[in-house]
């Protein structure tokens, strides 16, 4: 130990009286419930660099001595306070990944960036225990440093007490006097590494951290924090015997919350200038569009898909109303497509690009899965349940890319509705009732159950294809945009795509060579750059810069709609509502082409477009663009009636049933019974197929509405 550590109490005394006088006065005024003195590492370093280094090397001794000194100073000034000392904002060289903490770090002060995954209940712990000798009633005070065992006195001190020893053969016993002993709240939290720092193919490391005092209940599952911790070891105990292996647990000294989202992305002044300069470009939307997965060649509808993904990254503005209802700002997009149309590539790219993006596949999520699971609590014995957060709560304020959306478990499907619309999950499992936030955009990809999507008829909408994924139709209405990506053979496109793939394939560098450091990693070439050149010689933004741009926009820009923008959206909405009030061959048609849910989607798209251009007020241009994107996917999808999104029943099917019923009634009132031939002849002129008639008749026979006196003749049941 260095000299600075040995005379630490003297150094602390000088430090407190010289540098922290005003904070000391505040402590003595007893204004807060828990007296805490918070220091930054910088404060200590400015005062005494050598001493600050020692705090990193011998934190337990020096911080305990600091706490004692602080309490002494308070007592000298007439207040008996149990103060807590917190040192935060450690230098970067003390930062470790959890997986790398080993024997060299034991007992030293380290910091790590983690996500909180579980927290236990509060457990009080004695830290200053007072024992009373049974023989002479003398009291002995002992400080408890170890949370694993209670230290008891071995004998009564002869100077002040009777001097008898305790223990099995001793003449006296010591009893703990609870009402004089001082207790402190403790809590266990489980943390794991942030996903960005986990090497590919590895499992994120987990750790148990002991939290004390006022830091209890400050952390919630799903939060990202930087924890400043002291790793300590406890011998593993097997069959009541100690072993030479040790478990590491962590004592928390302090923690820094990321109070504002996206602070993990540092934006310098030069970055800011570049962002502002790029935001004033007239071709910004095309630039953004090209920057989304540039290695995927865009033909046909893919251009529009990339455009909507760019808008999704920026997102609309989530708002809270006075009556505490919440309006979602995140944009949800579903990509349905044949195999091999680069859906998964798009999803992986988007999850890497979005700050706080998470990628999961529907087939690979079980248990906690997408939402949350009730698991046995490791912290408290007795087999109680605790909640463990899944993908959606962990990507709160980010983007969750879910591949193979059609393969999600039945339970997760049901919980997806509130997670997408209300963006919160209310969970009651295993006696745990909890609400988790899932304020993230969802980008999902679904495959058809039959291997490829069947061809859509001219009057069939995208919902016909949606049913082929096996997902419930109501889920379709939760998405703002649904794209259908088909693998169609078109000569000119096929040649271009093939050339592009061949080009991309040969430009990459062998992974094995990079791992062996024989070749330069191509990804590092983009570091610090703003623009990169694509394979077709067009420029696009680098991933690093695009992330900064998005984080800057989401952090600083919260656009409102201008009067012009509102007027345009209103006009589009009312026109669409009226566009189908017409008669056709079925008589009156009850078609609602667009509902208020679509109106909200338009508002979100408008806000996202304004945010992309860093505008505080969304203008008519933003509204026009959002209407263009929205109208485009609607026409691509062929949705005439929005109720089809929710129920999966098209207008034609709904009206066919009505027409068949009316025709049946007419024939029966004329002839007493209706034969199948009469019915088919009369309905054929109204554009109804034979299959629809037969299907309807069989349903009516099953429900008992019709009966068949003779073969192929039908009459209404009385």
- Tokens standing for residue 206: 């987990």
Please give the pLDDT value at position 472. 74
Q: Same structural domain for residues 10 and 146?
A: no
pLDDT at 650 over 60: no
| Residue 405 DSSP one-character state | G
Highest mean pLDDT among 87-101, 153-167, 282-296: 87-101
CA–CA distances in Å: residue 688 to residues 454, 586, 652, 681, 700: 21, 10, 9, 10, 17
- Assigned domain for 617 exists: no
Query: How far is 469 from 447, CA to CA, in rounded Å?
Result: 6
What residues contact 216, with CB distance under 8 A and at least 6 apart?
Answer: 122, 185, 186, 187
pLDDT band for position 140 (cuts 50, 70, 90): confident
Q: Same structural domain for residues 344 and 474?
A: yes
Task: Give the number of domains in the chain.
Answer: 4
- Assigned domain for 588 exists: no
Please report, for the domain that includes residue 659, its CATH number. 1.10.10
Please give the pLDDT value at position 366. 56
- Residues 662-668: what's their mean pLDDT? 79
pLDDT band for position 260 (cuts 50, 70, 90): very low
Q: Same structural domain for residues 115 and 71?
A: no
Instruction: Choose one of 89, 107, 131: the last residue of a domain.
Output: 89
Please give the pLDDT value at position 231. 92
- Residues 249-263: what's their mean pLDDT? 73
pLDDT band for position 218 (cuts 50, 70, 90): confident
Give the range among 326-340, 347-361, 645-659, 691-705 with minimum mean pLDDT. 645-659
Q: Same structural domain for residues 200 and 170?
A: yes
- Assigned domain for 564 exists: no
pLDDT at 367 over 70: no
pLDDT band for position 462 (cuts 50, 70, 90): low
In percent, how much of the chain has pLDDT > 70? 79
Q: Same structural domain for residues 127 and 275?
A: no
- Tokens standing for residue 506: 């040969």
Please give the pLDDT value at position 448. 79
Residue 707 phi, psi (nearest 5): -135, 160
Q: Same structural domain for residues 119 and 188?
A: yes
pLDDT at 164 over 60: yes
- Assigned domain for 37 exists: yes
- Tokens standing for residue 603: 């508002």
Q: Same structural domain for residues 225 and 311?
A: no
Structural domain boundaries enclosing 163: 99-259
What residues contact 83, with CB distance under 8 A and at least 6 apart?
Answer: 27, 35, 36, 37, 67, 70, 71, 74
Bridge partners, 237 (sequence order): 242
Instruction: Choose one of 212, 231, 259: the last residue of a domain.
Output: 259
Please give the pLDDT value at position 2. 57
Instruction: Choose one of 507, 540, 556: the last residue of a domain.
Output: 556
Minimal CA–CA distance to 404: which of 469, 490, 464? 469
Please give the pLDDT value at position 410. 74
- Assigned domain for 177 exists: yes
- Residues 318-322: what's their mean pLDDT? 84
- Assigned domain for 398 exists: no
Please report, for the domain that includes residue 83, its CATH number. 3.30.1640.10
Please give the pLDDT value at position 320. 84
| Chain position carrying tokens 């503005």 | 317
Strands 357-361 and 399-403: parallel
- Considering only residues 442 and 197, tell me which one the structure prediction assigns the higher pLDDT: 442
- Assigned domain for 295 exists: yes
Give the range among 44-58, 159-173, 202-216, 431-445 with minimum mean pLDDT. 159-173
Highest mean pLDDT among 217-221, 381-385, 409-413, 684-688: 217-221
Reported pTM: 0.66
Please give the pLDDT value at position 347. 87
In percent, how much of the chain has pLDDT > 90? 2
pLDDT at 28 over 50: yes
Q: What is the full DSSP assignment across 216-248?
A: TT---TT-EEEEEEEEEEEEEEETTEEEEEEEE
Please give the pLDDT value at position 636. 65
Q: Same structural domain for residues 307 and 165?
A: no
Query: How far is 88 from 44, CA to CA, in rounded Å?
Result: 11
Handedness of CA 183, 129, 107, 13 (dihedral sign): positive
- Residues 50-60: what's their mean pLDDT? 87
- Assigned domain for 373 exists: no
Write the pLDDT tens digit of every residue in 568-594: 988 888 887 776 544 444 444 444 456
pLDDT at 647 over 70: no
Write the pLDDT tens digit of every residue in 478-503: 788 888 777 766 666 667 677 767 76
- Residues 135-146: what's their mean pLDDT? 81
Q: What is the 3-state secondary structure (H, E, C) of 544-563?
A: HHHHHHHHHHHHHCCCEECH
Average pLDDT over the chain reads 77
Please report, for the domain that includes residue 114, its CATH number. 2.40.50.140
- Residues 454-458: what's their mean pLDDT? 59
Of the chain, the end-to-end C-alpha distance in Å amounts to 100
Give the range among 7-11, 95-99, 209-213, 527-531 with minimum mean pLDDT. 527-531
Q: Same structural domain for residues 84 and 155?
A: no
On whether the CB atoms of residues 316 and 330 are closer than 8 A, the answer is: yes
Q: Same structural domain for residues 221 and 125?
A: yes
Please report, for the domain that includes residue 276, its CATH number. 3.40.50.300
Q: What share of the chain is helix, strand, coil (3-state, %, to 5)?
A: 40, 25, 35
Q: Same structural domain for residues 284 and 197?
A: no
- Residues 376-405: what's their mean pLDDT? 74
Minimal CA–CA distance to 151: which of 161, 159, 142, 160? 142
Minimal CA–CA distance to 369: which of 404, 321, 325? 404
Q: Same structural domain for residues 253 and 350?
A: no
């Amino acid at each position: 130990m260095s000299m600075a550590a040995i005379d630490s109490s003297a150094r602390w005394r000088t430090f407190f009286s010289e540098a922290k006088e005003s904070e000391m006065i505040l402590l003595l005024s007893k204004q807060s419930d828990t007296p805490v003195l918070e220091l930054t590492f910088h404060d200590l370093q400015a005062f005494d660099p050598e001493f600050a280094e020692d705090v990193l090397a011998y934190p337990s001794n020096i911080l305990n001595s600091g706490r004692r000194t602080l309490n002494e100073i308070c007592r000298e000034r007439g207040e008996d306070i149990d103060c807590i000392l917190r040192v935060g904002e450690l230098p970067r060289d003390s930062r470790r990944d959890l997986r790398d903490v080993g024997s060299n770090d034991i007992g030293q002060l380290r910091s790590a960036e983690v996500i909180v995954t579980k927290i236990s209940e509060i457990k009080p712990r004695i830290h200053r225990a007072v024992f009373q000798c049974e023989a002479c009633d003398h009291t002995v005070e002992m400080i408890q440093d170890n949370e694993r065992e209670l230290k008891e006195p071995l004998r009564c001190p002869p100077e002040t007490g009777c001097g008898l020893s305790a223990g099995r053969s001793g003449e006296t016993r010591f009893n703990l006097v609870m009402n004089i002993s001082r207790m402190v709240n403790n809590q266990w939290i489980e943390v794991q590494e942030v996903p960005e720092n986990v090497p590919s193919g590895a499992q994120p490391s987990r750790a148990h951290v002991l939290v004390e005092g006022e830091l209890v209940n400050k952390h919630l599952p799903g939060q990202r924090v930087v924890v400043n911790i002291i790793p300590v070891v406890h011998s593993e105990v097997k069959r009541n015997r100690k072993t030479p292996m040790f478990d590491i647990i962590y004592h928390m000294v302090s923690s820094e919350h990321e109070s504002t989202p996206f602070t993990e992305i540092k934006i310098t002044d030069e970055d800011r200038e570049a962002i502002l300069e790029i935001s004033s470009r007239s071709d910004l939307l095309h630039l953004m569009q090209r920057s989304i997965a540039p290695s995927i060649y865009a033909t046909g509808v893919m251009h529009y898909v990339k455009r909507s993904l760019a808008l999704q990254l920026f997102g609309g503005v989530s708002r809270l109303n006075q009556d505490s209802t919440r309006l979602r700002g995140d944009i949800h997009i579903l990509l349905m497509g044949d195999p091999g149309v680069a859906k998964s590539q798009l999803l992986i790219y988007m999850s890497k690009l979005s700050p706080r993006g998470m990628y999961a596949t529907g087939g690979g999520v079980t248990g906690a899965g997408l939402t949350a699971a009730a698991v046995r609590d490791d912290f408290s014995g007795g087999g109680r349940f605790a909640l463990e957060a899944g993908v959606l709560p962990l990507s709160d304020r980010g983007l969750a890319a879910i591949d193979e959306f059609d393969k999600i478990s039945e339970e997760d499907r049901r919980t997806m509705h509130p997670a997408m619309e209300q963006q919160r999950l209310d969970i009651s499992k295993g006696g745990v009732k909890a609400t988790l936030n899932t304020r993230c955009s969802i980008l999902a990809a679904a495959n058809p159950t039959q291997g490829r999507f069947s061809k859509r008829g001219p009057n069939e909408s995208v919902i016909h294809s949606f049913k082929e994924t096996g997902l419930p139709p109501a889920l379709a209405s939760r998405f703002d945009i649904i794209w259908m990506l088909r693998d169609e053979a078109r000569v000119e496109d096929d040649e271009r795509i093939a050339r592009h793939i061949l080009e991309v394939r040969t430009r990459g560098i062998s992974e094995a060579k990079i791992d062996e450091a024989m070749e330069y990693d191509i990804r590092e070439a983009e570091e610090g750059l703003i623009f990169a050149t694509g394979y077709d010689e067009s420029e696009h933004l680098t991933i690093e810069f695009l992330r900064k741009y998005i984080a800057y926009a989401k952090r600083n820009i919260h656009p409102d709609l201008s009067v012009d923008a509102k007027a345009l959206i209103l006009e589009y909405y009312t026109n669409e509502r009226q566009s189908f009030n017409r008669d056709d061959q079925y008589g009156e048609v009850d078609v609602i082409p667009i509902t208020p849910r679509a109106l909200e989607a338009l508002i979100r798209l408008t806000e996202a477009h304004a945010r992309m251009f860093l505008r505080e007020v969304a203008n008519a241009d933003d509204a026009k663009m959002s209407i263009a994107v929205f109208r485009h996917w609607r026409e691509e999808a062929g949705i005439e009636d929005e109720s089809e999104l929710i129920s999966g029943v098209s207008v034609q099917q709904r009206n066919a049933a009505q027409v068949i019923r009316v025709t049946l009634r007419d024939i029966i009132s004329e002839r007493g019974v209706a034969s199948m031939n009469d019915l088919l002849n009369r309905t054929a002129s109204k554009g109804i197929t034979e299959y629809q008639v037969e299907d309807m008749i069989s349903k009516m026979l099953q429900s008992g509405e019709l009966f068949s006196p003779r073969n192929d003749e039908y009459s209404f049941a009385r």
